[in-house]
Amino acid sequence: MTLHILDVFAGCGGLSFGLRSSGHSIVAAVEKDQWAAETFSVNMPEVEVIRDDIQKLSPSALKSKFGSTVDTVVGGPPCQGFSVSGKRQYGIYKSENRLIYEFIRVVDLLQPKFFVLENVRGFASATIEGRTKALNAILRRLTAKGYKIFHRVLQAAEYGIPQYRSRLFVLGSLDGFAADPFPAEYRESSNRFISIMQAIEDLPPVGSGEGNDGGQPYTDAPKSDYAKLLRERSSLVYNHEAMNHSQRLIQRFAEIPPGGKGYDIGRKTRHQNTVTIYKSNNQRLFEDRPSLCITANWQSSYIHPTLNRNLTVREAARIQSFPDTFIFRGKRALMSSSLLRREGRHAELHISQCHQVGNAVPPLLAMRLGSRLDQLDRKGDVRPNVLVENWMR
Active site members: 79
Residue 380 burial class via C-beta count within 10 angstroms: exposed 0-12, middle 13-18, buried 19 and up: exposed
CA-CA distance, 296 to 14, in Å (whole number)? 14
The DSSP secondary-structure symbol of 216 reads B
Say if residues 271 and 297 touch (Cβ distance below 8 Å): no
CA 30 to centroid of chain Cα atoms: 16
CA-CA distance, 361 to 74, in Å (whole number)? 11
Say if residues 312 and 241 touch (Cβ distance below 8 Å): yes
Say if residues 204 and 240 touch (Cβ distance below 8 Å): yes
The DSSP secondary-structure symbol of 367 reads H
Q: How far is CA 264 from CA 32, 38, 170, 180, 367, in A?
A: 40, 40, 38, 44, 39
Q: How far is CA 65 from CA 6, 33, 40, 58, in A?
A: 11, 21, 20, 11
CA-CA distance, 150 to 142, in Å (whole number)? 12
CA-CA distance, 165 to 294, in Å (whole number)? 8
The DSSP secondary-structure symbol of 21 reads H
> Element (H or E) spanning 101, and its range?
helix 100-110
Q: Where are the beta strands (DSSP E) in 94-147?
A: 114-120, 127-128, 132-133
- Of 41, 107, 118, 31, nearest in space to 70 by CA: 107
**CB-based contacts of 202, cutoff 8 Å, min separation 6:** 218, 220, 221, 222, 223, 227, 231
Residue 164 burial class via C-beta count within 10 angstroms: exposed 0-12, middle 13-18, buried 19 and up: middle
CA-CA distance, 369 to 372, in Å (whole number)? 5
Q: Which amino acid is at 205?
A: P
